[in-house]
Amino acid sequence: MKHMPQIGMGTFRLEGTEATQAVTDALNVGFRHVDTAQFYGNEENVGDAIKTSGIARSDLFVTTKVWHESLGKDKFMPSVHESLAKLKLEYVDLLLIHWPYPGDDISLESYLKNLKEAKEQGLARHIGVSNFTIELLEQAEAILGKGEIYTNQIELHPFMQNRQVVEVCRQKDIRVTGYMPFAVGKIMKNDGLKAIADAHDTTPAQVVLAWMDKRNIHAIPSSTNKKHLAQNIAYTDITLTNEELATIDDLDNGERIVDPDFAPKWD
């Protein structure tokens, strides 16, 4: 079964033909993981790009996420089938719970069992969670069993390294996927990151992706610029020194960008 590539194409906030073009460009420059979600409203556009790419399905890794309004028993499976129809795929490689359910009328156990059912039906090769806290991860593992949760997708960038959650994921052998790796562009303005980038004749974005790779954190950066996409996928050309890695580690200040009113109580 195909493993999740280290880097993927994030599609949050990409809409319509812009989304189709961005994913097409990403696939053309070498991306093989595309990350979308029901909430993004672009699964159809992502599906169009995949369908016209000419890339074998077995060479691609596609992730989508079930929105919290579809976590009820009557909505869960229909929403997954709708996602697959929009993506024009028979299965996704990874199906995630986008956010833990914010109310108490749908239990964690009920929607995680639906998630596992989607995998058992062949609709998803791997299953996982997103925006789960340590407490929720503990509960999820107790419900699903060890080894079922493939990844926890969380906000992660140099200014928000989420170390406690990352450590628990490591202990549980759950991959960590970092979204917003560029902190909505803030990394481009950071003097420390710019200095490291200058030393390697590269970009702060590539520096951050190289750092995340060294820290065993998958990344799903987003861009609509084909040149930037090509630079992002070429981050492997850089080898950071231990001192540079430590400098980036020291940028952590707990700056959280994504914090909707339905978010769980963060660690």
Candidates 28, 23, 58; CA nearest to 40 is 23
Q: Which residue has the tokens 């493993």?
A: 3
Candidates 175, 161, 130, 173; CA nearest to 253 is 161
200 is in an annotated binding site: no
Indicate the SS3 state at residue 84.
Answer: helix
Annotated catalytic, 40?
yes
Within 10 A of 41 (CB to CB), how many other CB atoms are there?
A: 15
Q: Which of 40, 150, 179, 235 is catalytic?
A: 40
Structure tokens at 39: 């909430």
What is the arrangement of strands in the sheet containing 149-155, beginning at the earlier edge strand?
A: 9-10, 33-35, 61-66, 92-97, 124-130, 149-155, 175-179, 217-219
Longest dimension (CA), the chain: 55
Q: Which residue has the tokens 């809409």?
A: 15
Candidates 209, 201, 216; CA nearest to 235 is 209
Residue positions annotated with a catalytic role: 40
Binding-site residue set for substrate:
98
Binding-site residue set:
98
